[in-house]
Amino acid sequence: MDAGALLRDARAHAGLTSQELANSSATTRTAISAYENGRKSPTVDTLRRLLASTGHDLTLVPTPTWREVPGPRGFTYFVPSQLPQLSPHRATRTITLPKHVAWSGQRRTLNLADRADRIRAYRAVMTEGTPEDMLGILDASLLIDAWPDLLLPRDLAPHWRHLIEREDTAIG
């Protein structure tokens, strides 16, 4: 997403007109329009100031890298370099597991706000999901909470345990 689209989305989410944003951020409506339409690019400081006027923050979030871990009979698991984090709303929504994850006839619709359902979903996606599946379903804090009851395959568990212990130490 470019700076203009980011600013436009933040302004819309805040329910502000371009004139209201201009007034609250000590700039002009013309400059807001130029940024949002890609005619000008704001500096990082300007973008940060404009986003703050919409009630948002510009945050640097690391992108996980993925490694493949061999499983049984040539199967491959994916393990991230760090635990994904979701917004509270995304982390506790009702999901439908993709068919490639819930292929064995297991229940596909799960409520991530329910701990038992979350454990089912996490186990399924951690053992059979793609990196994209995991980024959309797993949340670091809720995964740490579920970890004691999350029974992963013996060849996969140590790889995730390392991440859980590292993250739990960083939080605590």
For the chain, what is the total number of helices (H) and then of strands (E)? 9, 4
Give the per-residue SS3 of 114-134: CHHHHHHHHHHHHHHCCHHHH
Phi, then psi, of 159 in degrees rounded to 5: -70, -40
Tokens of 40: 């000008």
Residue 106, pLDDT score = 67
- Residues 6+ away with beta carbon under 8 Å from 46: 27, 35
Domains of the chain, first to last? 3-53 (1.10.260.40), 66-171 (no CATH)
Q: What is the pLDDT along the chain (172 residues), one digit of tens a residue?
A: 799 999 999 999 999 999 999 999 999 999 999 999 999 999 999 999 999 999 999 888 788 999 999 999 899 999 999 999 998 999 999 999 998 897 766 668 999 999 999 999 999 999 999 999 999 999 999 999 999 999 999 999 999 999 999 876 555 5
Q: What is the pLDDT of residues 41-63, one digit of tens each?
A: 999 999 999 999 999 998 887 88
Distance CA(92)–CA(112), nearest Å, equals 5
pLDDT of residue 168: 61
Beta strands (DSSP E) in 59-123 are: 66-70, 76-80, 94-96, 109-111
- pLDDT score recorded for residue 60: 83
Distance CA 30, CA 21 (A): 11
User: According to the model, what pLDDT value does residue 91 have?
Assistant: 96
Alpha-carbon torsion angle 72, 76, 77, 78, nearest 10: 170
